Amino acid sequence: MHGGVTGQAGHAMNSYRKLGFVLLSLLVVQGLPAQAAASGVGSQPARPDVRSQAYYIFDGSNSAVLASRHENTPAPIASITKLMTALVVLEADQPMDEMLTITVADVRGTAGSGSRLWPGARLSRNDLLRLALMSSENRAAHALCRSYPKGLTACVRAMNAKAAELGMKTAYFVEPTGLSKLNVASPCDLAKLVLAAGETPTIGRYSTAVEHTVYVGRQALQFRNTNSLVEKPDWQVGVQKTGYISEAGRCLVMQTVIDGRQVVIVLLNSFGKLTRIADAKRIRTWLETQHKTKAV
């Protein structure tokens, strides 16, 4: 009798276990779609595969942040600085055809960087601005700021005042080229700078030109853009700037059209020469795929 009861109890227990297993299996199966969506399996990943340490992707069409990482952390910005230099130089409304001379002060102010603009070279303010934005010419940027009304110090002061005006709370500038690691801003604040630069047609044209030739005396010097994407017919780049110093890594900011949307991309501290461009391409693919997935 005792053995029969035990056998019946064991049989019941096995039945409960089987039922529990079936219920658990159903719950797991029902939960798969949510888990897959969270992990990106079988759907568009929630974030793009960006290798740069910090990034910020902003849709200017509806003022939406699409994705970001370390977006509020200030970091060295290298030659992205030159967008701010260009803004204040243009706002000073000095004659763009005025000829400026590269001086020893410009060489000293850009120590550690190479240049084909030697002391005594004379170029127009217009040409210097083109070279600073397009090919990141440091002596050109320094000469522009040095020739600012009341000089270099006043120019840098104007850069910081402009940053405050744009609401760039983390931004700080000590010189006009970006060679100093003390020039800093967060990715979020750099998006504000890109948007302001994008509203200035001259900066847009000069920063996205593929190449430009200047004449120093009788010598023709050809300069090319540091961002290869401006040459690609399938990219619509409205404004851009690259940058590099060891403390900042490879940097890139730009405003471009993707799927009919005005998108601002900020990439800071990329490793290697190709990562920032590859990141920009991955972001574009992510946005285009995301759009197609939503349409389906």
Catalytic one of 79, 135, 147, 207: 79
Catalytic one of 52, 82, 162, 186: 82
What are the Cα distances from residue 293, in Å, to 133, 209, 260? Answer: 37, 34, 16
Lookup: tokens for 98: 């005025």
Instruction: Report d(CA 152, CA 284) in Å as an integer.
Output: 39
CB 145 within 8 A of CB 138: no
Enumerate the β-bridge partners of residue 56.
Answer: 68, 266
- C-beta neighbour count of 171 within 10 angstroms: 24
Instruction: Report d(CA 207, CA 242) in Å as an integer.
Output: 10
Catalytic one of 52, 68, 135, 136: 136
61 assigned to active site: no
SS (H, E, C) 183-240: CEECHHHHHHHHHHHHCCHHHHHHHHCCEEEEEECCEEEEEECCCHHHHCCCCCEEEE
124 assigned to active site: no
H/E stretch holding 140: helix 138-146
User: What is the distance of C-alpha 9 from the center of its chain?
Assistant: 68
Instruction: Report d(CA 239, CA 203) in Å as an integer.
Output: 7
273 assigned to active site: no
Name the residues annotated as catalytic: 79, 82, 136
